[in-house]
Amino acid sequence: MKFFYNRSLLSENKIQKTADSLLPYIKHLQLVADKAGYADVESTINLPTDKKMLQEIIAMAKQKATPKLKYFIDIAIGASDLGAKAWYDAFWGFYDLLQPERFPKTIFLETPDEELLTKTIRLLTSLKSKEEFLINAVSKSGGTPETVVNLEVILDALKKRFGDVNDRLIISAGTDTPMFKLAKEKKLPLLEMVKNVGGRYSVFSSQGLLAAAVTGLDMQALCQGAVAMRQKCLDPDLLKNPAALSASIIFQHYQSGKNISDTFIFLPQLETLGKWYRQLMGESVGKEYDLAGKKVRQGITPTISIGSTDLHSVGQLYLGGPRNRISTFVWGENKKYEATIPQEMEFPVLDAVAGKSTHTFIRAVIEGVKIAYQKQQLPYMEVVLDTVSEYSIGEFMQFKMIEMMYLGKLMNVNAFDQPNVELYKKETRRILKST
């Protein structure tokens, strides 16, 4: 992964000055990394090196995901499934319609939807044996309402069809939660979620990695990419540290009124990866109170755009509208595949593309967009993936998680909590009790 910031429209001096203020925190993160383990809120950076956890997950996947497995059902929501879904969609999900014979396929049950539940049940109960499905219910808090609702509806139908299905259910939850305890009593297959790692920083734990392993992704490469990136993002030589640079640039533009951060990804299969980042930024720095307890109501609205598609959607707004966003272009060749436009075109309305590869075409679009942004004085950064691989996506996610810790520090907010969501949850519980 390469990171460029020469078009951020900020001077290197100014960026360096902001980044300098991160040096004590970088030192703290280095200590967290050195001592390993999970004592600190930043312990997420130690997950990809946790050999014991990785082995446990590999063993679980090996035991449960036999060649008979057709459907892996990931019951979770928000932080508890976006990482797994980002990986699945990047390598499988975006192409599932085109590969009807490829298995196992993953079905994500997030918000309870009656049609989705009905059709999932029809599909699963039509299977020949229970070895053809495997359920993973993931809830850090051990009681996420959506996850409980979906799980109960699905289990009820599966038990009626197959009898006892406990051996086809894996529970991933925090160790001190009611769900974990119940699962333990029932002797269900269990994976622990690390207490000090918040949901949105938990992709390199059982949350993301079990789903990756079950569907045949290279877990080791995902983790290796993250480990390599951790080193870069803890570098005190700030001008070589992509996380410190990116956080400093977003922060400076935020201070001068740019309160939207657009991640413009020119790889359509990475849209869910974008949504994962949207969640990371939305929850981490959108805060009512700062670290001193002062009411600040601050935050940056994260948006995800997909190139070249969204040039035909929000391109007009971005190029012509208000200068209230800092953009990060994410691109890279998918080197495993290629497609070429024939020399003799059926519709020769665009001679310049004849005989060229789709890579060349998309590169020209990206370069065109960059020049247009420059001419309109719109700031941007660039993240270039080596290719679409487990390793490079592992790099990207680690880069973004450390960037977010730095951004929280610069904005003087707690990047690890989400107190305001309790506001609607409390009301919902009250309404549910009274209906």
Nearest distance from C-beta of residue 182 to a second copy, angstroms: 5
The structure tokens 């045949």 sit at: 216
Tell me if residue 22 falls in helix, strand or coil. Answer: coil
Q: Nearest approach, Cβ of 27 to a second copy (angstroms)? A: 28
Applying CB under 8 A, among 259, 290, 386, 412 the residue interacting with a second copy is 259
Which of 237, 283, 294 lies closest to 404, judged by CA?
Answer: 283
33, 228, 260, 291: residue in contact with a second copy (rule CB under 8 A): 260
Among 372, 384, 386, 412, binds a second copy (CB under 8 A): 372
Could you tell me the smallest distance in angstroms from the CB atom of residue 390 to a second copy? 15
**Positions 261 through 320 that interact with a second copy (CB under 8 A):** 266-269, 275, 278-279, 282-283, 286-289, 297-299, 301-303, 306-320
| Contact status, residue 77 vs residue 104, Cβ threshold 8 Å | no
Size of the site for a second copy (CB under 8 A): 133
Name the amino acid, one letter, at 349. Answer: V
Q: Least distance to a second copy from the beta carbon of 151, Å? A: 7
Contacts with a second copy, 316-355, as mask; x by CB under 8 A: xxxxxxxxxx--------x-xxxxxxx--xxx-xx-xx--
Tell which residue, 93, 81, 119, 55, has the closest CA to residue 215.
93
- Among positions 10, 22, 75, 107, the unique one binding a second copy when judged by CB under 8 A: 107
Smallest distance from the beta carbon of 10 to a second copy, in angstroms? 20
Question: Interface with a second copy includes 198 (CB under 8 A)?
Answer: no
Identify the sign of the CA torsion 120, 123, 125, 131: negative
* Preceding omega of 242 cis (within 30 degrees of 0): no
**Residue with Cβ nearer a second copy (54 or 153):** 153
Report the run of H or E that residue 109 belongs to, with start and end: strand 105-109
> What is the maximal distance between C-alpha atoms in the chain?
69
Residue 435 as a binder of a second copy (CB under 8 A): the answer is yes
Complete edge-to-edge strand list for the sheet that includes strand 133-139: 105-109, 71-75, 133-139, 169-174, 190-193
Using alpha carbons, select from 203, 258, 192 the residue that is nearest to residue 401. 203
255 scored as a contact of a second copy (CB under 8 A): no
Q: Which stretch, 12-20, 212-220, 398-406, 421-429, contacts a second copy (CB under 8 A)?
A: 421-429
Decide if residue 412 touches a second copy (CB under 8 A): no
* Cα atoms found within 13 Å of the Cα of residue 260, Cβ hemisphere only: 14
Part of the chain binding a second copy (CB under 8 A), chosen from 127-135, 141-149, 391-399, 402-410: 141-149
Which among 12-20, 74-82, 211-219, 237-245 is the span making contact with a second copy, rule CB under 8 A?
74-82
- Asked if 134 and 168 touch (Cβ cutoff 8 Å), the reply is yes
* Residue 36 binds a second copy, judged by CB under 8 A: no
How far apart are the C-alpha atoms of 378 and 150, rounded to whole Å?
A: 44
